[in-house]
Amino acid sequence: MTPQVACRFCAAGLTCEACDCGDQPLANSLVSMDAPDVPDPRFPLRVMVCSACLLVQLEQAADPGAMFTEYSYMSSVSAFWRDHTARFSAMAVDRFGLTAESLVMEVGSNDGTLLGAFAGRGIPILGIDPAANVTAEARRRGVPTLTAFFGERTATELAAGGRQADLLVANNVLAHAPALMDFVRGFARALKPAGVLSIEVPHVLAMLKGAQFDTIYHEHVFYFSALVLRKVLAAVGLAVFDVETLPTHGGSLRLLAQHAGTGQRPATPALDQVIKAEIDAGLHRPESYRILADAAARVVGGLRAFLDQARADGAVVAAYGAAAKGTMLLNAAGADSETIVFVADASPLKQGYRMPGCRIPIVAPDRLKAVRPDFLLVLPWNIADEIMEATRFIGAWSGQFVIPSPVLRVIAA
């Protein structure tokens, strides 16, 4: 990894720091049980704000080729996501008038959960994702999927083969694409003249307000506002005509865009309203983003103090959710397998591995009943309610939940 000295959008020098998270392991690079007993590689994790265009981005980002060719997250595992995708497909078919003659394309289609919802409504679909294991699963489930990195070249090849989208969906992928401009040029190429682009990204405003410091990791290169994303899309001829704020990932933006020259949908007032909220919060000033560093210090300090106390009391602490934000928080707080016995996770793809850096083992949720921990640390706070509901049984032995962010709370089960 080499430090990026110029903004990935406007090429101005990156000199303004929002938060320095120190040296951290790659958050999604799970470690096998028989890996040699040597420290996992760590890389500097520093969030910068471009003083010229306000794009929030990492100074050093992980190479997507090393990360996404084998991916350990399957969309279908989360009941919340299945529900989210069902609502989205119903809305989109209705609002954009999709028919059996249309094509819905999804970039970062994972195991095909979202596209499957469109196929169920009789709409032709095509997925694109670089991870061979999840695309194989998607095809097994009957979702046509291309195993490829998305960008201008892939989109141009698809267009040459007569495949362009009436609806192009890119949910939670844009923030992970270091070659931002190649990616958005791909959007413009992949979209039919009257097509609609739907993008979902975590909203940097929610991140700042909610002290979501653990959403910072090397695979998450960009932290977007509507203010900036509108400019990025405009640079490739795409015009945002609607925006919605969503509760997903602790607060996300869904932007709808079309070709500036040929799109036909009128702009709604929502974009101006969201941008006004961003400006009211100071997102138009680079120095506003420094509150991230204060949030990080508070959340990490709170968890560290809790783990020290638990150890002093001889309490058994387990965690739930082997996702990237868990890796970040556990490593930043200096947790290890002495302080946290294991991380439970429902995904069979993660069980039997260890968390990067801190090397805490990942096990099936069943283990909770055998070990009966005093505390269950819920790492993915964005789906904390779903996790607490599924593990309410820890109340049988007076186990308690611990929610680390934005301020650590202990909740009876």
Of the listed pieces 3-11, 66-74, 185-193, 381-389, which binds Zn ion according to CB under 5 A? 3-11
Query: Taking the complex as a whole, how short is the minimal distance between the CB of residue 271 and Zn ion, in angstroms?
Result: 20
Query: Taking the complex as a whole, how short is the minimal distance between the CB of residue 222 and Zn ion, in angstroms?
Result: 11
- Of 151-190, binders to Zn ion (CB under 5 A) are none
Look up residue 169 and give its two tokens. Answer: 């969906």
Look at residues 320, 327, 387, 323 and name the one whose alpha carbon lies nearest to residue 359.
Answer: 327
The residue among 286 and 356 lying less far from Zn ion, judged by its C-beta, is: 286
16 binds Zn ion (CB under 5 A): no
The residue among 231 and 265 lying less far from Zn ion, judged by its C-beta, is: 231
Q: How many CB atoms lie within 10 A of CB 11?
A: 13
The residue among 222 and 241 lying less far from Zn ion, judged by its C-beta, is: 222
- By residue count, the chain amounts to 413
Query: Taking the complex as a whole, how short is the minimal distance between the CB of residue 182 and Zn ion, in angstroms?
Result: 16
The residue among 12 and 136 lying less far from Zn ion, judged by its C-beta, is: 12
Cα–Cα dist 278/267, whole Å: 19
Contact pattern for Zn ion over residues 31 through 50, marking x by CB under 5 A: -------------------x
Of the listed pieces 8-16, 69-77, 217-225, 234-242, which binds Zn ion according to CB under 5 A? 8-16
Residue type, 355: M
Query: Taking the complex as a whole, how short is the minimal distance between the CB of residue 224 and Zn ion, in angstroms?
Result: 13
CB-based contact 404:329 (threshold 8 Å):
yes
Q: How far from chain centre, in Å, is Cα 186? A: 20
The residue among 10 and 235 lying less far from Zn ion, judged by its C-beta, is: 10
- The backbone torsions φ and ψ at residue 323, rounded to the nearest 5 degrees and listed phi first, read -100, 175
Q: What is the 3-state secondary structure (H, E, C) of 174-226?
A: HHHCCCHHHHHHHHHHHEEEEEEEEEEEEEHHHHHHCCCHHHCCCCCCEEECH
Query: Taking the complex as a whole, how short is the minimal distance between the CB of residue 50 and Zn ion, in angstroms?
Result: 3
CB-based contact 116:143 (threshold 8 Å):
yes
7 binds Zn ion (CB under 5 A): yes
When binding is defined by CB under 5 A, the residue of 1, 52, 281, 390 that contacts Zn ion is 52
Query: Taking the complex as a whole, how short is the minimal distance between the CB of residue 56 and Zn ion, in angstroms?
Result: 10
- Residue that has been written with the tokens 């990492």 in this structure: 58
Residue type, 308: D
When binding is defined by CB under 5 A, the residue of 1, 53, 77, 86 that contacts Zn ion is 53
Cα–Cα dist 288/304, whole Å: 26
The residue among 19 and 349 lying less far from Zn ion, judged by its C-beta, is: 19
Query: Taking the complex as a whole, how short is the minimal distance between the CB of residue 291 and Zn ion, in angstroms?
Result: 20
Of the listed pieces 6-14, 22-30, 70-78, 290-298, which binds Zn ion according to CB under 5 A? 6-14
371-406 b/e (C-beta count within 10 Å ≥ 16 → b) = eebbbbbbbbbbbbeebbeebeebeeeebebbbbbb
The residue among 181 and 277 lying less far from Zn ion, judged by its C-beta, is: 181
Cα–Cα dist 121/113, whole Å: 13
CB-based contact 186:154 (threshold 8 Å):
yes
Look up residue 193 and give its two tokens. Answer: 């003249």
The residue among 18 and 329 lying less far from Zn ion, judged by its C-beta, is: 18
Query: Taking the complex as a whole, how short is the minimal distance between the CB of residue 58 and Zn ion, in angstroms?
Result: 13
Look up residue 253 and give its two tokens. Answer: 């933006």
The residue among 184 and 368 lying less far from Zn ion, judged by its C-beta, is: 184
Query: Taking the complex as a whole, how short is the minimal distance between the CB of residue 279 and Zn ion, in angstroms?
Result: 18
The residue among 16 and 413 lying less far from Zn ion, judged by its C-beta, is: 16
Of the listed pieces 4-12, 30-38, 138-146, 368-376, which binds Zn ion according to CB under 5 A? 4-12
Pure H helices in 246-313: 270-280, 291-313
10 binds Zn ion (CB under 5 A): yes
| Residue ranges that bind Zn ion, judged by CB under 5 A | 7, 9-10, 12, 50, 52-53, 55
